[in-house]
Amino acid sequence: MALPYYVSPEQMMQDRAEYAKKGIAKGRSIIAMEYSDGVLFVADNPSASLFKISEIYDSIAFSGAGRYSEFENLRKAGIQHADVKGMMYSREDVTARSLANGYSQILGTLFSQEMKPYEVELLLAQVGETPERNELYRISFDGSIVDERKFTAIGGRSETILALLRKEIPQTCPSLKEALTLCQHAFEQGADPRSNLEGLEVAILDRTRIGRRFRRVPTLEATQILA
Amino acid sequence: MNSENVSLPNFSADPCSSFYQYLTSQRPDLLPMARWENSLPQPGPTDPSLMSTRHLPWPHGTTVLAFTYDNGVLIAGDRRATEGFQIAANRMEKVFQTDGFSAMAIAGAAGPCVEMAKLFRIELEHYEKLDGQPLTCEGKANRLGHMVKANFPMVLHGLVVIPLFVGYDHKREIGRLFKYDITGGRYEDTDFHAVGSGGKDARSTLKEYFRKNLPEDAAVKVALRALLNAADEDVGTGGPDLVRRIFPTVKLVDSRGVRDVDDTQLATVCAALVNEKQET
């Protein structure tokens, strides 16, 4: 009987991580940023119908970078989990923290046990009753979670974009207009110099709304906000 | 070539956009309808006591009505729930907003009714989130029909749920109204309908006072008049309680969305109707 080739666990994990990173590097970036009335999501997405940002529950939004089919599955699983939980307990009991934990478990298991890891990076945000209670989570292909404040970014050019935002972010919480301007500049400088509002997908989690806080911001409205 | 071995990729393996279907396949324990199905005695077809729903010890929702008016469609219901000859609740809500442009009202056994409304709301929201766009008005009405149909085994145990569904159709730019029978049959009505123990009395009032394209204020008045008359005739229907300030629920569904008629307006109209009755 032929023995299988020996590959050290370190080598195997490293290979998988490299594979996943390569896949994510091809993906376009998404920024989430806290603003005075909630959380703003901006995605570099030329398609007007295939969304990268979506609603999970009343005050929770989701966004994925990397392989579409994979983060789409994770998005659907998240919505199902949230709806079942909200029905079993109450709508307030559905939290981004527990969803982030769930995603971390799924991605962690897939990364260590499957042949091919998921080539995705996820961004999960929950708008709180007060700005201090907002939650932003970034979840990587290997299941690691980072709890962020003020802003975060995922996708291929996220490092460049994060570096740019760190320099420009004001001390106080920006208004929607300021936040959108910051994000647009970050995309212009960090990702694509030709990026304009048409190529951006914008959505907000608006604290002032009742019930479902998630709302898409069409290009026309985004232009008006920036004007 | 062996054609028997060729199989097409299966779309249904994809997670379905229906929350109800998801629960049926993954979490049947959470379904409101099928829960006690196996634990209740099976009723014989000749046992009239089990088929009768009038004196069962479950609270029953009573008069709900809906009709079209010039901007859209109005839906209203009284607030009383009864348990045999006792009043179980006098502030019960029987009219529910189900999404941004639709609402439903229910008559029947209170517990399953409220659960169906809650599940239907999640169903519509779930579809909208998974699919990225809301169902059409027709699609929503059909979906509710499926849920009523799934409740049929419970009907045999007296747990009847009869909804009325209203929605604004953006394509046709009209308000639409759907009624259902216990088997899930779905019928569209262009004018008005009322169900529940006082439904017949409400319908006869609506037959007298309903006109096509009533303005909003007049429509609210007709709705309250029909509920008041139903309360006069039917013990299960609660009239407006001017002392404790409990008024029927009235919701308006139009191109701008779903709105509640506020208590101040309801109080004024109710007082006017009661005065009218005193004068005659």
Name the CA dihedral angle for B17, B20, B24, B28, rounded to a multiple of 10 degrees.
130
Selected residue with higher pLDDT from A209 and B44: A209
Asked if A54 lies within 8 A of B23 by C-beta distance, the reply is no
Q: pLDDT at position B88, please?
A: 86
Establish if B31 touches chain A: CB-CB under 8 angstroms. no
Q: What is the pTM of this model?
A: 0.89
Write the CA distances from A14 to A19, B190, B226, integer angstroms: 9, 66, 73
With cut-offs at 50, 70 and 90, classify the pLDDT of residue A58: very high
Q: How many CB pairs under 8 A join A and B?
A: 31
Selected residue with higher pLDDT from B236 and A193: B236
What is the rounded average pLDDT of the residues B195-201?
Answer: 91
Residues in chain A: 227
Comparing CA positions, the residue from A22, A23, A61, A68 lying closest to residue A45 is A68
Residues of A near B (CB-CB distance < 8 A)?
Answer: 49, 51, 54-56, 73, 76-77, 79-80, 83-84, 86-88, 212
Give the rounded percent of residues in chain A with a pLDDT score beyond 70.
97
Establish if B121 touches chain A: CB-CB under 8 angstroms. no
Min Cα–Cα distance to chain B from A41, Å = 16
Mean of pLDDT over chain A: 90
Residue burial A159-198, b: 16+ Cβ < 10 Å; e: rest: eebbebbeeebeeebbebebbbebbbebbeebbeeebebe
Q: pLDDT at position A31, please?
A: 94
Asked if A212 lies within 8 A of B119 by C-beta distance, the reply is no
pLDDT at A177 over 90: yes
pLDDT in tens, B29-88: 888 765 555 565 555 544 555 445 444 556 676 899 999 999 899 999 999 988 888 888
**Could you say which of A51, A73, A80 has the minimum Cβ distance to residue B132?**
A51
Mean of pLDDT over chain B: 86
Q: Where are the domains of chain A?
A: 27-226
pLDDT at A123 over 90: yes
In chain A, what's the furthest Cα-to-Cα distance? 72
Asked if B129 lies within 8 A of A79 by C-beta distance, the reply is yes
**Chain B residue nearest residue A54, CA to CA:** B129
Min Cα–Cα distance to chain B from A72, Å = 9
In whole angstroms, what separates CA A223 from the centre of its chain? 23
Write out chain A residues lying below 8 Å of B260, CB-based.
Answer: none
Q: pLDDT at position B15, please?
A: 53
| The one catalytic residue among B46, B62, B63, B183 | B62
Write out chain B residues lying below 8 Å of A87, CB-based.
Answer: 30, 118-119, 122
User: Among B126, B129, B133, B259, which would you mutate to test the A interface (most chain A Cβ atoms within 10 Å of its Cβ)?
Assistant: B129
What is the topology classification, in CATH, of domain B17-25+56-279?
Answer: Glutamine Phosphoribosylpyrophosphate, subunit 1, domain 1 (3.60.20)
Which ipTM score applies to this complex?
A: 0.90
Give the rounded percent of residues in chain B with a pLDDT score beyond 90.
56
**Could you say which of B119, B125, B129 has the minimum Cβ distance to residue A54?**
B129
**Could you say which of A77, A79, A84 has the minimum Cβ distance to residue B27?**
A84
Residues in chain B: 280
**Could you say which of B27, B119, B130 has the minimum Cβ distance to residue A79?**
B130
Question: Domain A27-226 in CATH: superfamily?
Answer: Aminohydrolase, N-terminal nucleophile (Ntn) domain (3.60.20.10)
Q: pLDDT at position B17, please?
A: 83
With cut-offs at 50, 70 and 90, classify the pLDDT of residue B248: very high
Write out chain B residues lying below 8 Å of A86, CB-based.
Answer: 122
Establish if B129 touches chain A: CB-CB under 8 angstroms. yes
Say if residues A32 and A174 touch (Cβ distance below 8 Å).
Answer: no
Number of Cβ atoms within 10 Å of the Cβ of B243? 5
Of A127-131, A174-178, B26-30, B139-143, minimum mean pLDDT range: B26-30
Q: pLDDT at position A115, please?
A: 84
Helix B110-131 to helix B19-26 angle (10° resolution) is: 110
Q: Where are the domains of chain B?
A: 17-25+56-279
Give the rounded percent of residues in chain A with a pLDDT score beyond 90.
62
**Could you say which of A56, A77, A87 has the minimum Cβ distance to residue B122?**
A87
pLDDT in tens, B157-166: 778 889 999 9
With the C-alpha atoms ordered B5, B9, B10, B15, is the resulting torsion angle positive or negative? Answer: positive
Catalytic annotation present for B62 = yes
Round to whole Å and give the CA distance between A45 and A196: 11
> Strands B186-189 and B174-180: what pairing?
antiparallel
pLDDT in tens, B89-119: 889 999 999 999 999 999 988 888 899 999 9
Q: pLDDT at position B58, please?
A: 61
